[in-house]
Chain A
């Protein structure tokens, strides 16, 4: 009885919730477009030879990792308008999540860069490549392959973090569920459906990443 009443209105809610999931996925795409290059940039800066460049990167990465994403989100959304920078909720969420994603993944990228054998660097130097050339042509192409599985793991975690955009009223999946819940007072039913949709994306993705990680042979 209880089970039936829990799911009886799922068919009617599925369409708005799928719309919300669409927005969550758009946020995911947006933080990937900004966050991935930014994270790689931080990593290159962290491995730079100049101290000042390294110091700037360390400060940015520590900030991104020490402060909750939710606080970054509020800082961008409520704080920047005071400096006369007005952004939509979606853009604010994208900026905050991208920054945090970049801070976390920069450590992974950095480890990937360090994992490229020193013989590769020495060979590049022997060939007379400059440091930027060495990075771009030799080190990064190899590092990127090493870091793909752990980076994908972070993507799944931050896909879930897009639910934080609820806090500034971005109409993503959790927000749609909450709206339906507050008008029908059936929070349990609608939140269960939302959880199911999140899980339907996250769980297969995690399993696929595990599989990819295990199957990957030695680099050639």
Chain B
């Protein structure tokens, strides 16, 4: 076990890939979730059904199966993605489903009277969302979205199974050569733990900043 600190250092090159997967996936998901949440609230039944199908399908199949479909599956129809692209895209599609539900809960938490009042003073839909609904919803959205981001950090480990050399993937490579599984994966656990603490702090900071800008900016 004395080798643990050494392995922590040797795993550091994997951290950049772990972060690319986490933030890339979260970024795609955060954008994708906007139209999905909007469709879910739409008055049109078809749009609502499409949004529900998207969310249920993405959440009903294990994340690794999606990554395999993108990486190995699409190659069958000659669409070849790099393992990193497939990883970021797969995590992004999954994040889109989960985040849309988080957005929806946040929007639903805003009392309906706010919408009626905003309409009554003659605001258009864009301004209603920008100035009335958005600032109130964001307060409800940020905490679960931050928790999801930290969950995604750990879920990014599955990208090792399609060959992305992130923290878990590097650990596995070292293990196969050096037979020090206990020390190596303990080191990996330490790296994930060390990443999740600043990530939680960052999420809290970003949440406060965003709330401040939307509410007071």
B65 touches A174 (CB 8 A): yes
Considering only residues 41-57 of chain A, those with a C-beta below 8 Å from chain B are: none
Q: Is A160 an interface residue (CB 8 A)?
A: yes
Binds B, one of A25-33, A61-69, A111-119, A120-128: A61-69
A187 touches B72 (CB 8 A): yes
State in angstroms the CA–CA spacing of A206 and B60 once bound together: 8
Cβ contacts B47-86/A at 8 Å (1 or 0 each): 0000000001101111111101100111111000000000
Q: Select one of A74, A198, A202, A203 contacting B181, CB under 8 A.
A: A74
Once A188-B76, A206-B60 are accepted as A-B contacts, the answer to whether A68 and B168 lie under 8 Å apart by CB is yes
Q: Is A208 an interface residue (CB 8 A)?
A: no
> Looking across the interface, which residue of chain B has its beta carbon closest to that of A2?
B77
Considering only residues 74-118 of chain B, those with a C-beta below 8 Å from chain A are: 74-77
Q: Is B205 an interface residue (CB 8 A)?
A: no
Q: Is B154 an interface residue (CB 8 A)?
A: yes
**Shortest beta-carbon distance, A68 to chain B, in Å?**
4
Considering only residues 75-93 of chain A, those with a C-beta below 8 Å from chain B are: 75, 77-83
Q: Is B202 an interface residue (CB 8 A)?
A: no
Query: How many residue pairs between the two chains, A and B, have CB atoms under 8 Å in the bound complex?
Result: 130
A81 touches B181 (CB 8 A): yes
**Shortest beta-carbon distance, B136 to chain A, in Å?**
25
Residues of A within 8 A of B189 (CB): 63, 66-67, 71-72, 75
B185 touches A74 (CB 8 A): yes
Q: Select one of B75, B158, B193 contacting A164, CB under 8 A.
A: B158
B75 touches A187 (CB 8 A): yes
Considering only residues 158-199 of chain B, those with a C-beta below 8 Å from chain A are: 158, 160-161, 168, 171-172, 175, 179-182, 184-186, 188-189, 192-193, 196
Residues of B within 8 A of A75 (CB): 181-182, 185-186, 189
B64 touches A164 (CB 8 A): yes
A174 touches B186 (CB 8 A): no
Residues of A within 8 A of B184 (CB): 78
**Shortest beta-carbon distance, B129 to chain A, in Å?**
27
State in angstroms the CA–CA spacing of A163 and B57 once bound together: 16
Residues of A within 8 A of B185 (CB): 71, 74-75, 78-79
> Looking across the interface, which residue of chain A has its beta carbon closest to that of B76?
A188
Residues of A within 8 A of B149 (CB): none
Q: Is B157 an interface residue (CB 8 A)?
A: yes
Q: Is A167 an interface residue (CB 8 A)?
A: yes
Residues of A within 8 A of B73 (CB): 187-188, 191-192
Considering only residues 4-28 of chain A, those with a C-beta below 8 Å from chain B are: none
Once A160-B61, A203-B56 are accepted as A-B contacts, the answer to whether A66 and B196 lie under 8 Å apart by CB is yes
Q: Which residues of A contact B (CB under 8 A)?
A: 2, 63, 66-72, 74-75, 77-83, 160-161, 163-164, 166-167, 174, 177-178, 181, 185-189, 191-192, 194-195, 198-199, 202-203, 206-207
15 intermolecular pairs with C-beta atoms under 8 Å apart:
A66-B189, A66-B196, A71-B188, A72-B189, A74-B172, A74-B185, A74-B188, A75-B186, A75-B189, A79-B181, A164-B158, A174-B68, A198-B62, A202-B60, A206-B59
